[in-house]
Chain A
Amino acid sequence: MRNTPPETTPFFARDRAWHPPALTPGYKTSILRSPQRALISLEGTRSEITGPVFGHNILGEFDNDLIVNYAKPGEMAIGERILVHGRVLDERGRGVAGALVEFWQANAGGRYRHKKESYLAALDPNFGGFGRTITDEEGNYVFRTIRPGAYPWPNGVNDWRPAHIHFSVFGHGFAQRLITQMYFEGDPMIWICPIVKTIPDEDAVKGLIAALDMNNNIPHDMRAYKFDIVLRGRRSTLFENRKEGN
């Protein structure tokens, strides 16, 4: 690891008009699960500016290879082979080193390996649908998977999710904790999805659409999609409004 000292300043305030609000009636489940009272502001104390850091010892050899991490020996998951890569950055544009990134997705037919999943699309016996990795010193990450399929879900009578990959990201502070979803460039399903539409700002949605990155394809093998993830930035300077004598 680099010898940069750990940062101890508070995070930038979260732009709540950029994120989806809690109550989004077009996404029905939010109606009974959305707090109705105002959030109480809590400027970062040590409890928020600190957070867990995970070592590479938690990772298995194939954790970032969804094509083989659940497959029988010598077999592979079925679907369009893709490589997903990008950087975890903070709002200052700095790479976030050592960030744990977890991801999960449906198989090529749009089916999740889950007890509560009722879609009739077939399970792929060689696809588990999840993986994880830790960013390098510049905040880069990469994993190999198959492109997930779109799937119907019980919300409106005819609602379908666009192809997407779920991401869970840890930064360096517990207040940076984020779960989001990655969509695929050019998918017409994105703009009619009730879950995408919980996001009020069009530019915020565009920030979740991975770009086809032909330069990083592996020729005759996989196409690449580039997906950067931005976590909250930290204030650069620490001037405490501390009372004299404390």
Chain B
Amino acid sequence: MAQSLNYLKESASQTAGPYVHIGCTPNFAGITGVYEDDLGSGPMATEKTRGERITIRGFVYDGTGTALKDAVIEIWQADADGLYNSPSETRGAADPNFFGWARCPGDMATGEFVFETIKPGRVPFRDGRPMAPHVSFWIVARGINIGLNTRMYFSDEDAANAEDPILSRIEHRMRVPTLIGKREGDTVRFDIHLQGENETVFFDV
């Protein structure tokens, strides 16, 4: 026997279920008058935010290729200089006009999610090498037992992507494009495939 470590176990995850909108985006669900706005809704950049404006759009597809209409997607990203607006960010103060987190329910008719944001700067990996610009995604829905983590990188960052420490460790190279948002003008298209030939790479973060 040895000393007890006395660690607790993380609370087990359970699906967000079909009514996640009631709790997370009640105004979107048509329940108004309790919260002024849905948390994390609306444009992420104000007039004062530094950085290049982009709009991220996409769908979450199930194993038949049908778009989910009940998913909630959250994103977390650095500011234009690669700094996070978080107490755990120790390298400097992030842009005070950029919160860096947002939440969007898929459209009830089409399933599409939309984030109006800025392109993030590069953030260092643990060993100091710069990671390519990326946005962290977290996806929950009915039928998803534990939230799914992935990242969106940018198709106009070939050189940075090629040296990114996370992308370069992916053994099956044909899967790397599932993590690349396609730049079309100011729009970045990023579709997430839960299953199938183009199953998105999900991370155990």
Contact = CB atoms under 8 A, between A and B. Distances in A.
B127 A203 contact: no
B9 A207 contact: yes
Interface stretch (A74-82, A109-117, A216-224): A109-117
Interface in A44-78: 44-54, 58, 60, 62-63, 69-70
A189 interface: no
B8 to A, nearest CB: 5
Interface string A164-202: 001010001111011111000000000000011011010
A132 B167 CA distance: 37
Nearest to B15: A195
B140 interface: yes
A5 to B, nearest CB: 9
B24 A32 contact: no
A51 B17 CA distance: 24
Interface residues of B, number: 82
Contact of A22 (B30, B100, B145): B145
A21 B88 contact: no
B98 to A, nearest CB: 11
A34 B25 CA distance: 24
Interface string B139-179: 01111111111010000000000000010011000010000
Tell me whether chain B's interface is mostly helix, strand or loop, or mixed. Answer: loop
Nearest to A11: B205
B117 interface: no
A54 B3 CA distance: 38
Interface residues on A, range: 35 or more
A246 B126 CA distance: 10
Nearest to B131: A45
A174 B30 CA distance: 28
A47 B11 contact: no
Contact of B148 (A35, A89, A130): A35
Interface in A231-245: 231-233, 240-243
B165 to A, nearest CB: 8
B113 to A, nearest CB: 16
Contacts of B105: none
A177 B68 CA distance: 21
6 contacts: A19-B12, A34-B195, A70-B34, A128-B26, A168-B16, A229-B11
